[in-house]
Amino acid sequence: MKQKLICFDYDGTITEFPEFMESCLNRSKILGYRNILCTMRFAEEEDEYITELREKFDGVYFTGRMAKQPYLANLGIFPDLWFDDEPKWIIQDAVKVVDPSVAPVPEPDAMALLKILLMKINPITASHRHGSPIHKNNLTSLCNIQIDIEQQIGMYKSK
């Protein structure tokens, strides 16, 4: 069975909730998942904290303001789950070349995208990319992580 891959964002995710994200990272490792860190920063923007985190992740990727999903896909990397405070940056570049002859593309609603991403670990819809079910123990743990995420979002939104 293919090992699951979880992608963690850095700015606004790990930096805003370091203890929570470290707990998720540790729990996912116990469950046998691979974990990567992917940031829209340029490699030259690596700070001391990212350097410290390198040993905890199976890979660290700097997209240079490019959308994360296509950037990683180009490298043959396909995360099964994303932890990102701004899900739009998973599919949208941060820097765009604007062509005035083309109508602007509306920005995706971040909360709607987050709900879609959380649905990936919902017990009703959870499955591997090819439709085989996730093992019950792993699913229960992922659902507990989902509950924790939803609580963190609630606290974050109330600030």
pLDDT tens per residue, range 36-61: 999 999 999 999 999 999 999 999 99
How is residue 19 written in tokens?
């203890």
pLDDT band at residue 2 under the 50/70/90 scheme: confident
Cα 70 to Cα 49: distance, rounded to the nearest angstrom: 25
Cα 58 to Cα 37: distance, rounded to the nearest angstrom: 8
Cα 45 to Cα 100: distance, rounded to the nearest angstrom: 31
Number of domains in the chain: 1
- The predicted-structure confidence for 69-105, as pLDDT tens digits, reads as follows 999 999 999 999 999 999 999 999 987 544 545 444 4
User: Mean pLDDT of all residues in the chain?
Assistant: 75
Amino acid residing at 148: D
- Reported as half-sphere exposure (CB side, CA atoms, 13 A), residue 150 has a value of 13
Specify the pLDDT at position 140. Answer: 47
- The predicted-structure confidence for 135-153, as pLDDT tens digits, reads as follows 444 444 555 555 555 555 5
Please report, for the domain that includes residue 154, its CATH number.
3.40.50
Specify the pLDDT at position 106. Answer: 47
Backbone angles phi, psi at 9, to 5 degrees: -80, 160
Three-state SS at 1: coil
Residue 19 pLDDT greater than 60, yes or no: yes
What percent helix, strand, coil does the chain show, rounded to 5? Answer: 45, 10, 45
Domain that holds residue 26: 5-95+104-158
Cα 32 to Cα 44: distance, rounded to the nearest angstrom: 31
Residue 64 pLDDT greater than 80, yes or no: yes
Specify the pLDDT at position 1. Answer: 72
Cα 59 to Cα 6: distance, rounded to the nearest angstrom: 11
